[in-house]
Each structure stands twice: as structure tokens, then as C-alpha cells.
């Protein structure tokens, strides 16, 4: 198949999706053309998807430019289908796919939130999205939570055209990687410190402020079994503001900011606990990675994440609850459960193995490209 892939805002989950899905050997027999903002995604694609059958079209970071680039590709080539990633990319591709009579799959990599469509302008935007998405042949959601969220906010969509394929990860990478020794390589860390890894972006969605508040609560408690230290990775987002707030709370000795890491498997294995205090997720790939690595994780019961953590040994707390997060961290320090997570890791590896979702995505491609649709 010859497929046009389109991503307007390739952050977080979309970047990981591209790496895990399109980097899989099952995709290597197909021809993919990626239309992406050059500054955002092109370097990652060239690093992780170096296949000769993949072609890249870099655009400026502009919705208008991406619309034009997509139109040029569809006018000049014969594509089996278009696969758009994210709501904006889906809105760009929908009218063009109708114009050029090309089948269209959209993957919803995010979920809608209360208050996202305020006022008259918001209602108009919501109505426009609903009309555009009704023209998409198949909408693919990465969790059942995502499917229900989409139908809640855009109820006129055809349920039969919404198809859920739970995401997967490179389980071999996370199962077999050696752990990073942060205590040896990072100044200021002691042998008996309890290392808490925060791997999310510094955005409200990822709930970092509640982790800071939880640490403030913990440090003011006496007789902690170990000294808790949070390790974060990379800059971007609101990292400057978040670390200024940490300094203001006088918690600087309990947070360590390290550069961005390309060794996620080793980093996840190198901490004693992964903290994922998200307010919402479309899927929660980090949770899959931690569970496959056998690293203890605390996550919230927010949309998307709860579906990934269900049935696992993870401690699940309410979103936006710093007190519950502090209690859960203290419990993990007092009674570590590494053996439980290591014992559950093979089950996680089976559940989140990449060949299943990749095979299902390819089956979906064949159905849509063949004009059969979903039944």
C-alpha cells in the first residue's frame, strides 16, 4: 500500500506511536509518505524510521502550510489512503480526502476536556469538527476511554466507524535493557535515596504540580523510611516555572533535573518508582513501559490511564490529589513491591506487545483502502 501519513502537532503520544508502529518490521513492505512540521518531527523520523520506502515532506509549522502540502501530495500521487494523526490533522485531511476521493483514517491521539469549547466561538468550532469528522471513513481511538470520550463530545458521529485498537510498545526493549545507575552518575544522590522518576512533559495535563505538592507533604512528615528524590528529564513546556516553584517551596534538595534521555528503558529501570499523576491521557504509554520493565508505578484513575493500569499491581489514586499521592509514595518506600511488578512484567509484555496493534492497524488499512469499511 501507498499511504500518506499526516501529523500537525506531533508531540508525546504521536511521536511514540510513529516509532513503535511504523518502525515495526510489518510495515516495511509498504510505502509511507509523512507530511510533518520539519522542526518538530522530521529529525525523529529520520533517526528511528530510516527505511528506504519511507518518504518525508517537511512543512513549516503552520496549519495553512500543512493543508497546502497535503493537497500537493494528493494531487500529484496515487495513495491507497490517508492516515491523519490528531484532531487538527484530521480536520486538515477530511475535506482534501473528499476532494481527491481518497479513503481516510484518523487516529485520535488525545481526548476532549470539559470547557474545551467555550462560548459561541467554541460551539462553532465543535460543530465544524463534528461535520468534518463525520466525513472520515474510520476514526481510530487508542483506548475504549478515548472512544467514549469522542462520542460524548461529538455524539452525531457514526459509532460503527469508530474503531479501538489499544496501543503497544517495544516490549523487548523495555524487558531486556540494563538499568541506569543514577546514584553513581548523578551528583547529590545517596545510596539509600528513594528515586521517583517523572518522565512526563511539564504541562498541566501531566500533573507535575501535584507531585511537587505531594513531596512538600512528605518532607514535612517525620520518620520517613528513606529520603525521596524526584528525577525529571529534559526541559520544555513550563519546566522553568515548575522548578522556580520548587525552589520557592525550598524543595530543591529533593528534585534533580537531568537532560532529555534517549535511553527510556534504562531510565525507567533505574528509578525505584515511576510517578504518573496525569489529569488525562489518551492511552498512557509510559505506564505500559513501566509495567513491562517491572518498575513500580503510581498512576491516577484519569481517563485513558486507568484502562492501561487495570488489573496490574500499580497503586491507582484520584487525579489532582496530592495527599493521596504522598500516601502512596510513602507506602511504596515503606513496603517496596518490586517483586510483584517483576512477576507481573511477563503478563504486561504479552498484553502490550507491538505486533498485535500493528497487525490490527494494517488490517484496518486493508479494509479502508479496499473500500469495505467496518462491519
Question: pLDDT for 87-117, tens place per residue?
Answer: 999 999 999 999 999 999 999 999 999 999 9
Say if residue 101 is in the same domain as residue 218. Answer: no
Total number of domains in the chain: 2
Does a structural domain hold residue 375?
Answer: no
Average pLDDT of adjacent 10-residue blocks, the chain of 375 residues: 93 84 88 86 74 85 94 95 97 97 96 93 95 97 96 96 93 93 93 96 93 96 91 88 94 95 94 97 94 98 96 98 97 95 97 94 95 60
Say if residue 32 is in the same domain as residue 107. Answer: yes
Does a structural domain hold residue 137?
Answer: yes
For 118-131, what is each residue's pLDDT tens digit? 999 999 999 999 99
* CATH assignment at residue 42: 3.40.50.2000
Say if residue 318 is in the same domain as residue 307. Answer: yes
Say if residue 150 is in the same domain as residue 176. Answer: no
Question: What three-state secondary structure class fits 111?
Answer: coil
Q: Which pLDDT score is estimated for 375?
A: 47
Does a structural domain hold residue 292?
Answer: yes
Say if residue 250 is in the same domain as residue 238. Answer: yes
CA 20 to centroid of chain Cα atoms: 11
Task: Count CB neighbours of 9 within 10 A.
Answer: 18
Residues 6 or more apart whose Cβ sits within 8 Å of residue 88: 8, 9, 63
Q: Which pLDDT score is estimated for 61?
A: 86
Q: Which pLDDT score is estimated for 49?
A: 79
Say if residue 107 is in the same domain as residue 192. Answer: no
- pTM for this prediction: 0.91
Say if residue 164 is in the same domain as residue 186. Answer: no
Say if residue 108 is in the same domain as residue 247. Answer: no
Q: Which pLDDT score is estimated for 235?
A: 85
Say if residue 111 is in the same domain as residue 151. Answer: yes
E-strand spans in 119-248?
Answer: 138-141, 162-164, 194-198, 228-233
Say if residue 58 is in the same domain as residue 188. Answer: no
Say if residue 181 is in the same domain as residue 110. Answer: no
Does a structural domain hold residue 319?
Answer: yes
Does a structural domain hold residue 374?
Answer: no
Task: Count CB neighbours of 266 within 10 A.
Answer: 18
From the list 30, 65, 66, 63, the residue with the least C-alpha distance to 49 is 30
> Can you tell me the distance from the alpha carbon of 106 to that of 364, in angstroms, rounded to the nearest whole number?
11
> Can you tell me the distance from the alpha carbon of 358 to that of 26, in angstroms, rounded to the nearest whole number?
7
Are the CB atoms for 134 and 90 separated by under 8 Å? no
Say if residue 195 is in the same domain as residue 333. Answer: yes
CA 103 to centroid of chain Cα atoms: 26
Residues 6 or more apart whose Cβ sits within 8 Å of residue 316: 298, 299, 300, 301, 306, 309
Structural domain including 263 reads 171-351
Does a structural domain hold residue 287?
Answer: yes
Amino acid at each position: 500500500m501507498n499511504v500518506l501519513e499526516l501529523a500537525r502537532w506531533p508531540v508525546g503520544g504521536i511521536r511514540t506511536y510513529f516509532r513503535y508502529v511504523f518502525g515495526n518490521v510489518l510495515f516495511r513492505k509498504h510505502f509511507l509518505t509523512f507530511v510533518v512540521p520539519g522542526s518538530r518531527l522530521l529529525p525523529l523520523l529520520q533517526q528511528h524510521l530510516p527505511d528506504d520506502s519511507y518518504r518525508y515532506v517537511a512543512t513549516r509549522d503552520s496549519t495553512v502550510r500543512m493543508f497546502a502540502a497535503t493537497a500537493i501530495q494528493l494531487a500529484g500521487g496515487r495513495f491507497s489512503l490517508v492516515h491523519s494523526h490528531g484532531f487538527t490533522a484530521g480536520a486538515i485531511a477530511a475535506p482534501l480526502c473528499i476532494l481527491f476521493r481518497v479513503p481516510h483514517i484518523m487516529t485520535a491521539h488525545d481526548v476532549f476536556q470539559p470547557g474545551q469549547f467555550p462560548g459561541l466561538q467554541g460551539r462553532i468550532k465543535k460543530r465544524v469538527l463534528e461535520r468534518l469528522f463525520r466525513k472520515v471513513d474510520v476514526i481510530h481511538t487508542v483506548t475504549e476511554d478515548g472512544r467514549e470520550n469522542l462520542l460524548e463530545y461529538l455524539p452525531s458521529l457514526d459509532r460503527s466507524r469508530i474503531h479501538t485498537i489499544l496501543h503497544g510498545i517495544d516490549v523487548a526493549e523495555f524487558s531486556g535493557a540494563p538499568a541506569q545507575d543514577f546514584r553513581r552518575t548523578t551528583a547529590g544522590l545517596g545510596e539509600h535515596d528513594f528515586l521517583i522518576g517523572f518522565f512526563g512533559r511539564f504541562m498541566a495535563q501531566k500533573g507535575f504540580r501535584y507531585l511537587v505538592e505531594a513531596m512538600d507533604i512528605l518532607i514535612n512528615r517525620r520518620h520517613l523510611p528513606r529520603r525521596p528524590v524526584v528525577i525529571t528529564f529534559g526541559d520544555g513546556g513550563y519546566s522553568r516555572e515548575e522548578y522556580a516553584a520548587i525552589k520557592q517551596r525550598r524543595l530543591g534538595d529533593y528534585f534533580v533535573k537531568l537532560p532529555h534521555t534517549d535511553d527510556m528503558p534504562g531510565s525507567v529501570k533505574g528509578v525505584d518508582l515511576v510517578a504518573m499523576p496525569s489529569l488525562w491521557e489518551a492511552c498512557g504509554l509510559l505506564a505500559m513501559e513501566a509495567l513491562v520493565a517491572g518498575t513500580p508505578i503510581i498512576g491516577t484513575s484519569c481517563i485513558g490511564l486507568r484502562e492501561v493500569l487495570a488489573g496490574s499491581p500499580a497503586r491507582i489514586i484520584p487525579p489532582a490529589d496530592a495527599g493521596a499521592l504522598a500516601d502512596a509514595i510513602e507506602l511504596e518506600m515503606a513496603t517496596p513491591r518490586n517483586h510483584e511488578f517483576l512477576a507481573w512484567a511477563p503478563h504486561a509484555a504479552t498484553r502490550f506487545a507491538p505486533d498485535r496493534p500493528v497487525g490490527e492497524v494494517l488490517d484496518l488499512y486493508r479494509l479502508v483502502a479496499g473500500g469495505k469499511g467496518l462491519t
